[in-house]
A and B are shown apart, each in its own frame.
Chain A
Amino acid sequence: LAKTTQPISMDSYEGQEVNITCSHNNIATNDYITWYQQFPSQGPRFIIQGYKTKVTNEVASLFIPADRKSSTLSLPRVSLSDTAVYYCLVAYTGGFKTIFGAGTRLFVKA
């Protein structure tokens, strides 16, 4: 299983774009990259998933360079309600064991 490394915490202001980078140097060919968001006292919830290049949905974008050794979650124009912990997870869809890292605590200020 690929080990992931993320910044422990980040601060931002409302309306700014936030980019959170995750390193996964030993990612395997069949691994996908998935990001989850967790609010206090709740379970994590899925944000976005990708394999390579760029993926965009209604809440975020995920940028994955050609070597796939890192990925960047981009949150456009954050609001106070985006204050949460964000986890990067690397796993292959044919496997079942999943390892969450420590996550990145994002604090959005007014």
Chain B
Amino acid sequence: NAGVTQTPKFQVLKTGQSMTLQCAQDMNHNSMYWYRQDPGMGLRLIYYSASEGTTDKGEVPNGYNVSRLNKREFSLRLESAAPSQTSVYFCASRGLAGRQETQYFGPGTRLLVL
């Protein structure tokens, strides 16, 4: 049981390049999330998916697109990367821990846009 996995761990892009960040969970959770965290800051919600086949905007969706490929996978795409998108990106899935509902986070993808 790997939990939430993210690839790649680290990526350097040039301004204008595109890339897709991959996220997968093996806990059979319905909901999945993408956050970004800038240095010294809290997490900001980019997009979320309440269930397979649905996606919704979070606080900071501009410049990003998402795909909920199936129940396990939720990808985040940067179509034209900008230096302002330099950040650490965390994927999470939501499910029960005992009787309490919580989010389980992946290890993060560190993205540097030059």
Contacts and interface: CB of A to CB of B under 8 A. Distances in A.
Given A43-B105, A102-B41, A97 B97 contact: no
B22 interface: no
Interface string B92-111: 10100100111111111000
A91 B48 CA distance: 14
B58 A34 contact: no
A100 B97 contact: no
A4 to B, nearest CB: 10
A11 B2 CA distance: 34
Secondary structure at the A interface, as helix, strand, loop or mixed, is loop
Contacts of A96: 31, 48, 50, 56, 94
Interface string A81-102: 0000101000001001111111
B101 A93 contact: yes
B53 to A, nearest CB: 14
Given A102-B42, A103-B42, A97 B48 contact: yes
B74 interface: no
A43 B56 contact: no
A29 interface: no
Nearest to B33: A98
A80 to B, nearest CB: 21
Contacts of B100: 34, 46, 49
Nearest to B35: A100
B92 A99 contact: no
Contact of A34 (B4, B102, B105, B106): B102
A103 B59 CA distance: 17
Contact of A97 (B43, B58, B103): B58
The 5 closest A-B pairs by CB, nearest first: A43-B105, A46-B102, A100-B43, A96-B50, A102-B42
Interface of B: 4, 31, 33, 35, 41-45, 48, 50, 56, 58-59, 90, 92, 94, 97, 100-108
Given A36-B103, A44-B43, A46-B97, 8 more contacts: A42-B105, A43-B4, A43-B92, A46-B103, A98-B33, A100-B44, A102-B41, A102-B42
